[in-house]
């Protein structure tokens, strides 16, 4: 039960921090970027590699350097088509499994439980919308665009 509360808190925090940052800043680095060749809606699964101080209310003892090394190691595993991405999520993610999110692109009304891109951490959408179905990418830690750590993102559809 405690892990469910922490996980729900993490998802809520992802949205709230993203919204608050967009209200406080008009810098292009914090705004979601969309291009004409991006789809209107995607489904992604991610592995969050957090480090000390990046998840409010959740103790993470990993250093930023260790998180970066782990993220790159897991990214290489995830790129192998024989790898079970779900297993990687369960083993490594600081977010709750399965870590799957539907997102609508900028200016598209969300439906069926999808989240508007503007309410997600900017790097999450900036990487996710550029991936082809089945591809895996990495959103590097950035205090403005990916403040919770490193996201290994796989586009599902």
* Averaged pLDDT in 10-residue chunks for the chain of 157 residues: 40 42 41 73 97 93 97 98 96 95 91 90 93 97 96 97
Contact between 110 and 104 (Cβ < 8 Å): yes
d(CA 120, CA 14): 6
Q: What is the pLDDT of residues 58-98, one digit of tens each?
A: 899 999 999 999 999 999 999 999 999 999 999 999 999 99
Report phi then psi at 40, rounded to 5.
Answer: -80, -25
Domains with residue ranges and CATH for the chain: 2-30+39-155 (3.10.50.40)
d(CA 34, CA 148): 22
The residue among 14, 156, 140, 11 whose CA lies nearest residue 71 is 140
* Entry pTM: 0.78
d(CA 28, CA 147): 16
């Amino acid at each position: 039960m405690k892990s469910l509360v922490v996980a729900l808190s993490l998802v809520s925090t992802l949205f709230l921090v993203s919204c608050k940052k967009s209200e406080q800043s008009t810098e292009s680095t914090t705004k979601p970027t969309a291009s004409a060749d991006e789809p209107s809606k995607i489904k992604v699964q991610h592995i969050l590699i957090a480090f000390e101080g990046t998840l409010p209310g959740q103790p993470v003892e990993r250093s930023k350097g260790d998180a970066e090394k782990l993220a790159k190691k897991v990214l290489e595993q995830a790129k192998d088509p024989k790898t079970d991405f779900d297993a990687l999520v369960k083993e490594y993610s600081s977010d709750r499994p399965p870590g799957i999110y539907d997102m609508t692109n900028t200016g598209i009304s969300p439906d069926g439980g999808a989240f508007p891109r503007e309410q997600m951490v900017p790097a999450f959408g900036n990487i996710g919308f550029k991936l082809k179905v089945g591809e895996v990418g990495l959103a590097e830690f950035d205090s403005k665009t990916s403040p919770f750590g490193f996201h290994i993102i796989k586009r599902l559809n």
